[in-house]
Homo-oligomer: A and B are copies of this chain.
Amino acid sequence: MRYSRDNMAGLLRSHDINPTHQRIEIAYALFSRMEHLSADQVMTQVNVHHSETSKATVYNTLNLFLQKGLIREVIVDPNKVFYDPNTRPHHHLYDVESGRLTDIDAEEIHINGLPPLPEGMTMEGIDLIVRIRKAA
């Protein structure tokens, strides 16, 4: 499925999010590229033409999307969070030098031998991060 600005309202509504102008722009920034973006990058993208959307709105909206399950958070870099429009189960390849983040499909990956969870706990998710760098 290709995403256009016109898809966005429906996508938002289907996740129980009231589609406003700003929310559509932010969703479009993420879904049209299908890339991992930091809050800052989203902010820049959304405001390429004129400055339309405030920092507060960008953060509010990303957190709203997160909470509604529209996007995921990827924590690999000590000083910024990346937002990931891909919510299918998958893992990440992280180039520690360039900061580039790439998806690894979870389909063919199998993880065996995980210990049982502590009493009364549920698993929220498994993140697998493969850190790579240019060979020396």
Report which A residues bind B (CB closer than 8 A).
73, 75-78, 81, 93, 95-96, 104, 108-115, 117-118, 120-136
Determine how close the nearest CB of chain B comes to the CB of A119; give it in whole angstroms: 9
A115: chain B residues within 8 A (beta carbon)? 104, 108
Q: Given contacts A125-B131, A132-B122, is CB(A112)–CB(B113) below 8 Å?
A: no
Since A109-B114, A110-B111 are in contact, a sample of 8 more A-B pairs with Cβ atoms closer than 8 Å, ordered by chain A residue number, is A108-B113, A111-B111, A117-B132, A121-B135, A122-B134, A123-B132, A126-B128, A128-B129
Q: Which residue of B lies closest to A121 (CB)?
A: B132
Q: Given contacts A75-B78, A81-B78, A120-B135, is CB(A114)–CB(B125) below 8 Å?
A: no
> In the assembly, how many copies of this chain are there?
2
Determine how close the nearest CB of chain B comes to the CB of A91; give it in whole angstroms: 9
Asked whether, in the complex, the Cβ of B136 is within 8 Å of the Cβ of A131, the reply is: no
A134: chain B residues within 8 A (beta carbon)? 120-122
Query: What's the Cα separation between A117 and B111 when bound, in Å?
Result: 18
Determine how close the nearest CB of chain B comes to the CB of A75; give it in whole angstroms: 6
Asked whether, in the complex, the Cβ of B123 is within 8 Å of the Cβ of A114, the reply is: no
Determine how close the nearest CB of chain B comes to the CB of A87; give it in whole angstroms: 15
Query: What's the Cα separation between A104 and B121 when bound, in Å?
Result: 16
Asked whether, in the complex, the Cβ of B124 is within 8 Å of the Cβ of A96, the reply is: yes
